[in-house]
């Protein structure tokens, strides 16, 4: 296994979309055409599926040095209301474009730190969103909470607004690791938030853990997971640390690669975590996720209904995803867009009545086909091109690239179908790369992505 890890531990996308953002064809993107496709998507999918809404709340009081998210560091909470007002103005731009009232199937509050905002201001934001939409009875609503500032008032307010899932960024309970990544949060603090969340009525609690962080050890990982098991979250996201200081800058330069677990050691941390999760009743779901049998991801995976989009794995299969806020990404099924990343510039565009879109990509027929196959691999570990409308030349090219992966026992290729073997699951990003036609047609001059393993 270690030989395969060394062989395949190359830079690889995480495939929350295809094409991946660095390979969007921005030159052929046209804002007016995107608006027309947005209207078309709304007509096609709103009544049948509803829509998903991702709201980016970028503010944090401190910089967590491992973080790769778009964030704005400040202790000035006066930024909250102007930002929310701009979010609601951006939402109004979409309302004015849609030909009807949106039916919301899913909302995710991401960050940054959504609980940087007061409970009162989150209430104002969501009241403004709901005012112009219908919230479906089975809508899936979740938010990312920081253990250090998620209060009982936050929990009660969001619960009253329909939220049932909370995701807590734990990362690691080893104090040495917490200090070097600038995210000190004792076990007792996390336990208190979990206790209040369950008492409030939250039915789905997710912990984010990361392996490969600076100063991590197997002993520390064992202790972290032992503590996690005392709290028994419904789902665990177990992410590989992406060390990309040339992209993320000063935060990840606080430590050097000498502080990071080496490839084999990092993989052992993952295998240790995976073994401990299984021993405690968690099942591996897709890539990076482990869930208890009652969790909605577990149920969706068992039924073959797992879905993946820019928000990661989800049970809500909506073709229209609206992204609000600085740096948010939207997907209408025919095109992708990304908002301006800088908060001040994003607010200026919105306040001037403009969609704050600064880049986009119109999906070609080939893109749509390959996106489907890559999504199948990420969600079900297999894909088929038996039907004529799922075939294209790029699939045949991908099969040639799969030959070495098949020789190494990572996939099984039969006529019109590829299946990922149990041994191949840790290499799912490499397997998806075989079908990434845009990547192979233009190999990057420099490293754009984190390592695959």
Q: Does 68 belong to an annotated binding site?
A: yes
Q: Does 212 belong to an annotated binding site?
A: no
Q: Does 112 belong to an annotated binding site?
A: yes
Q: Does 64 belong to an annotated binding site?
A: yes
* Angle separating helix axes 187-200 and 218-231, nearest 10 degrees: 30
Q: Does 392 belong to an annotated binding site?
A: no
Cβ atoms of 122 and 129 within 8 Å: the answer is no
Tokens of 341: 């990343």
Return d(Cα 373, Cα 391) in angstroms, integer: 10
Omega cis (within 30) before 64: no
Angstrom CA distances, 447 to 10, 127, 379, stand at 10, 43, 26
Alpha-carbon dihedral angle through residues 247, 248, 251, 252, given to the nearest 10 degrees: -50
Q: Does 145 belong to an annotated binding site?
A: no
Return d(Cα 391, Cα 18) in angstroms, integer: 16
> 98, 24, 88: which is closest to 55 by C-alpha?
88
Angstrom CA distances, 451 to 197, 220, 286, stand at 35, 23, 18
Cβ atoms within 10 Å, residue 447: 12
Q: Does 393 belong to an annotated binding site?
A: no
Sign of CA dihedral 374, 309, 302, 193: positive
> 150, 36, 158: which is closest to 107 by C-alpha?
158
Q: Does 144 belong to an annotated binding site?
A: yes
> 224, 174, 166: which is closest to 196 by C-alpha?
166
Q: Does 429 belong to an annotated binding site?
A: no
* Angle separating helix axes 393-407 and 365-380, nearest 10 degrees: 30
Which residues, 6 or more positions from 190, have their beta carbon under 8 angstroms from its beta carbon?
147, 168, 170, 231
Q: Does 282 belong to an annotated binding site?
A: no
Q: Does 54 belong to an annotated binding site?
A: yes
Angstrom CA distances, 89 to 22, 130, 349, 354, stand at 29, 13, 10, 10
Tokens 């309302």 locate to: 95
Return d(Cα 378, Cα 383) in angstroms, integer: 10
Q: Does 111 belong to an annotated binding site?
A: yes
Q: Does 119 belong to an annotated binding site?
A: no
Residues flagged as binding site for [4Fe-4S] cluster: 60, 64, 67
Residues flagged as binding site: 54, 60, 64, 66-68, 111-113, 144, 171, 183, 208, 242, 329
Residues flagged as binding site for S-adenosyl-L-methionine: 54, 66-68, 111-113, 144, 171, 183, 208, 242, 329
């Amino acid at each position: 296994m270690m030989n395969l890890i060394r062989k395949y531990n190359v830079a690889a996308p995480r495939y929350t979309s295809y094409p991946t953002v660095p390979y969007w064809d921005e030159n052929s993107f046209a804002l007016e055409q995107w608006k027309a496709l947005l209207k078309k998507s709304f007509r096609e999918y709103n009544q049948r599926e509803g829509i998903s809404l991702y709201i980016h709340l970028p503010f944090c009081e401190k910089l967590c040095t491992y973080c790769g998210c778009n964030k704005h560091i400040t202790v000035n909470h006066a930024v909250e209301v102007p930002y929310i007002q701009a979010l609601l103005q951006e939402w109004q731009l979409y309302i004015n474009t849609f030909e009807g009232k949106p039916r919301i199937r899913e909302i995710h509050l991401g960050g940054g730190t959504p609980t940087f905002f007061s409970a009162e201001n989150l209430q104002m934001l969501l009241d403004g969103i709901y005012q112009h939409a219908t919230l479906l009875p089975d809508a899936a609503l979740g938010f990312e909470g920081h253990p250090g500032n998620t209060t009982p008032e936050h929990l009660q307010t969001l619960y009253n607004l329909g939220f049932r899932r909370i995701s807590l960024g734990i990362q690691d309970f080893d104090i040495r690791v917490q200090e070097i990544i600038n995210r000190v949060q004792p076990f007792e603090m996390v336990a208190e938030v979990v206790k209040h969340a369950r008492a409030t009525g939250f039915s789905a609690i997710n912990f984010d853990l990361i392996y490969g962080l600076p100063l991590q050890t197997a002993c520390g990982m064992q202790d972290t997971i032992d503590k996690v098991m005392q709290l028994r979250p419904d789902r665990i996201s177990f992410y590989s640390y992406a060390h990309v200081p040339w992209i993320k800058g000063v935060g990840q330069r606080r430590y050097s690669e000498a502080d990071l677990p080496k490839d084999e050691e990092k993989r052992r941390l993952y295998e240790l975590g995976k073994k401990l999760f299984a021993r405690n009743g968690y099942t591996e779901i897709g890539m990076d996720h482990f869930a208890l049998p009652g969790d909605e991801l577990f149920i969706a995976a068992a039924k073959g209904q797992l879905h993946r989009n820019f928000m990661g794995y989800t049970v809500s299969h909506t073709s229209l995803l609206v992204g609000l806020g600085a740096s948010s990404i939207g997907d209408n099924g025919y095109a992708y867009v990304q908002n301006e990343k800088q908060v001040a510039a994003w607010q200026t565009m919105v306040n001037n009545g403009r969609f704050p879109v600064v880049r986009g990509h119109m999906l070609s027929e080939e893109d749509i086909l390959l996106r489907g196959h890559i999504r199948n691999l990420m969600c079900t570990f297999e894909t088929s091109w038996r039907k004529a409308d799922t075939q294209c030349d790029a699939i045949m090219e991908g099969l040639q690239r799969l030959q070495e992966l098949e020789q190494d026992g990572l996939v099984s290729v039969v006529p019109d179908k590829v299946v990922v073997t149990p041994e191949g699951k840790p290499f799912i990003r490499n397997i998806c790369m075989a079908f990434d036609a845009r990547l192979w047609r233009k190999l990057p001059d420099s490293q754009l992505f984190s390592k695959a393993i």
